[in-house]
Amino acid sequence: MDIIRLLPDSVANQIAAGEVIQRPSSCLKELVENSLDAGASRIRVIVQDAGRTLLQVIDDGQGMSPTDVRMAFERHATSKIKEAADLFSLRTMGFRGEALASICSVAQVEVMTRRPEDELGTRLVIHGSQVMEQEAVQCPAGTNIKVKNLFFNVPVRRKFLKTDQTELRNLLSEFYRIVLVYPQVQFTMVSQDEILSDLPAGTDKQRIESVFGKSVRQPFTGRFVDIKVETDVVSVHGFVGKPESAGKNPQQYFFVNGRFMRHPYFHKAVMTAYEGMLSADAAPSYFIYFDINPESIDVNIHPTKTEIKFADDQIIFQILLAAVREALGKFNVAPSLDFDVAGRLEIPVVSPSSAQPSSAYRPVTTHDSSYNPFNRMAQHDRPQTDWQRLYEAVDRSQPEVQPQLFDCGVELSKCYQYAGRYILFALGGSLMIADQHRAHTCVLFNKYSQQMAIARSASQQLLFPEVWEVSPEDMPVVDAMADDLRKVGFDMERLDRNSFSIQGIPAALDAGGTVPALQDILASVKDTRSSMREDWCNRIALSLAYDTAISYGTVLSDEQMMDLIKDLLALKTYKVLPDGKAIVTEYEQAEIEKRF
């Protein structure tokens, strides 16, 4: 008996849908791209429940004839390529003819469309690939497509969807990837009857500004420099962030021929151009647009089409690197840089006289490689097993402190500060070296976590309230964590759709650091990909702890060090931070003895 048969179209379409339509945001992408391919100059996106119940796209593009609209929902039906050779000269966003067929196999679709030259348009209703209705109607020129109850017939896929908040964030990021390449098109995005994004037609720069400008208060020109280069292989233009405006929440976008793309290799080129200009945890924003002969790229390697292969990627790497370097150099941004030492590998040598105990203090980055406290000991030929004597060389000016019993139940004699960033002390016969910044971060992390649990904190009122502007994309996240931010001391109130007024801040925070600290928290919470409140709270507490802990280079008095170490040792976990960073290392006496 023969056993092979062709799958019914509805099944084949659902299988294809698995690849093309993974979530509401992929559906949004396909629909908006179709509108752009149809030459629309105004596009309105409307969603309900993050696209779960409704995703609607209305355009003023070329519309479809009654026959074409029926065809459009068939598999491999496209008006955009006729033969295989066309694949290599693509200038449209879509070409596979799969999207509408996929969408209508997993949703209830209603479309109204009219070509400008026709008097009547067509209304077509399809549920799970089944045509339910088709009729002639009066409607505006263009296409209006409603996708209702996505995955209504595929419960497993429905279960894969994340919280509305996450899905809405996905919708917005997808939306941004598109609107950033079509500044000449007017876009509106509406969710739950509220306008989330309203973008007038304009230039590249204006578009970036209207999408992201609100979340960063400096004007565009203050934060970005232009890049531009034209070669036979590729033309590149765009904007790269000045190093000093780099942060933890960068916006990084590559586009090729009007299409968003990911390209880790080209990303590396950009980052290489910034080498030595950024502090360890800051990354620059960039918006870089490539124009290239479509024949030298292959967009076909992934159905969702964000990975793109370039025939000349090594040459483009060099071109890009040079262009970004030149842009950063030309505007003379490099020399005025202020290096943040905290995250660098070199250990700064800080002299107490030049150091101030302020978090704004940046230590000098000279590294005295000949300095080694062990050397001095080596000159004395008596064997030393007592680590305290070993470190007499480091700091003779400090009077001896008698061993004391602290409430952490540990006997601690004396602490020494080394290189402006380590605290040395003896514990249970071992030599302990603690990283001062991380030790304090750990103590504060525990404190903030407790405050969040009991909802009590020390807040300092600001004389001049700060305004925190949040991009619409991040608003759902901020709304969800606002209560927890209040618990750690941020006295905040919603000002309008995109901003908060911050009237009070955690007692330990510098007023000037308010917005950066909030941005850090936001970046860290977004990074969890968890929707568990507990995970969020941990992120908030840790991020705030990092931002308020004593910095490297801060000279600590004996008493401050003792207090800090005492607080640290009183914690249940004091050797590593929740993000896995080591706080203390330990050298057993036997290990030290081996060195002599």
Positions touching ligand ADP (CB under 6 A) are 30, 34-35, 37-38, 59, 61-64, 72, 77-80, 94-101, 143
Please tell me whether residue 94 binds Mg ion under the rule CB under 5 A.
yes
Please tell me whether residue 143 binds Mg ion under the rule CB under 5 A.
no
Q: How far is the CB of 114 from ligand ADP (least distance, A)?
A: 10
- Here's the x/- map for Mg ion, 14-43, by CB under 5 A: it reads as --------------------x---------
Amino acid code (one letter) for 412: L
Angle, helices 533-548 vs 436-454, to 10°: value is 140
Choose among ligand ADP, Mg ion, none what residue 97 binds, the Cβ cut-off being 5 to 8 Å by kind. Answer: ligand ADP
Q: How far is the CB of 94 from Mg ion (least distance, A)?
A: 3
Q: Report the residue number whose CB is nearest to Mg ion.
A: 94
Closest alpha carbon to 510 in 466, 446, 554: 466
The footprint of Mg ion on this chain (CB under 5 A) covers a number of residues equal to 3
Cα(316)–Cα(267) distance, integer angstroms: 11
Cα-trace Rg, the chain = 30
Cα(423)–Cα(433) distance, integer angstroms: 6
Whichever of 41 and 92 has its CB closer to Mg ion, that residue is 92
Whichever of 34 and 108 has its CB closer to Mg ion, that residue is 34
Amino acid code (one letter) for 256: V
Is the distance from CB of 507 to CB of 471 less than 8 angstroms? no
Q: How far is the CB of 96 from ligand ADP (least distance, A)?
A: 5
Cα(544)–Cα(537) distance, integer angstroms: 11
Q: Report the residue number whose CB is nearest to ligand ADP.
A: 94
Choose among ligand ADP, Mg ion, none what residue 96 binds, the Cβ cut-off being 5 to 8 Å by kind. Answer: ligand ADP
Q: How far is the CB of 292 from Mg ion (least distance, A)?
A: 22
Q: How far is the CB of 472 from ligand ADP (least distance, A)?
A: 24
Cα(401)–Cα(442) distance, integer angstroms: 26
Choose among ligand ADP, Mg ion, none what residue 72 binds, the Cβ cut-off being 5 to 8 Å by kind. Answer: ligand ADP
Cβ neighbours of residue 563 under 8 Å, at least 6 residues apart? none
In the 8-state DSSP scheme, what is residue 392?
G
| Tokens, residue 69 | 């609209």
| Tokens, residue 337 | 């840089």
- Considering only residues 97 to 116 of the shown chain, the ones binding Mg ion according to CB under 5 A are 99
Q: How far is the CB of 268 from Mg ion (least distance, A)?
A: 31
**Distance set, CA 12 to CA 69, 74, 76 (Å):** 20, 11, 11
Q: How far is the CB of 93 from Mg ion (least distance, A)?
A: 7
In the 8-state DSSP scheme, what is residue 49?
G
Closest alpha carbon to 166 in 273, 50, 63: 50
Q: How far is the CB of 143 from ligand ADP (least distance, A)?
A: 4
Choose among ligand ADP, Mg ion, none what residue 64 binds, the Cβ cut-off being 5 to 8 Å by kind. Answer: ligand ADP
Cα(435)–Cα(440) distance, integer angstroms: 9
Angle, helices 164-179 vs 24-37, to 10°: value is 20
Whichever of 106 and 541 has its CB closer to Mg ion, that residue is 106
Whichever of 67 and 397 has its CB closer to ligand ADP, that residue is 67
Cβ neighbours of residue 438 under 8 Å, at least 6 residues apart? 549, 577, 581, 582, 583
| Tokens, residue 61 | 């593009």
Q: Measured in whole angstroms, how far is the alpha carbon of residue 378 from the centre of its chain?
A: 50
Whichever of 261 and 347 has its CB closer to ligand ADP, that residue is 261
Q: How far is the CB of 30 from ligand ADP (least distance, A)?
A: 6
Choose among ligand ADP, Mg ion, none what residue 143 binds, the Cβ cut-off being 5 to 8 Å by kind. Answer: ligand ADP
Whichever of 35 and 519 has its CB closer to ligand ADP, that residue is 35
Q: How far is the CB of 161 from Mg ion (least distance, A)?
A: 22
Q: Measured in whole angstroms, how far is the alpha carbon of residue 406 from the centre of its chain?
A: 43
Amino acid code (one letter) for 34: N
Whichever of 72 and 508 has its CB closer to ligand ADP, that residue is 72
Q: How far is the CB of 41 from ligand ADP (least distance, A)?
A: 13
Which stretches of 348-435 are DSSP H helices?
A: 373-379, 387-390
Whichever of 36 and 240 has its CB closer to ligand ADP, that residue is 36
Cα(95)–Cα(115) distance, integer angstroms: 21
Choose among ligand ADP, Mg ion, none what residue 153 binds, the Cβ cut-off being 5 to 8 Å by kind. Answer: none
Choose among ligand ADP, Mg ion, none what residue 38 binds, the Cβ cut-off being 5 to 8 Å by kind. Answer: ligand ADP
Amino acid code (one letter) for 109: V
Please tell me whether residue 90 binds Mg ion under the rule CB under 5 A.
no
Closest alpha carbon to 344 in 360, 364, 328: 364
Whichever of 94 and 284 has its CB closer to Mg ion, that residue is 94
Choose among ligand ADP, Mg ion, none what residue 249 binds, the Cβ cut-off being 5 to 8 Å by kind. Answer: none
Residues near Mg ion (CB under 5 A) are: 34, 94, 99
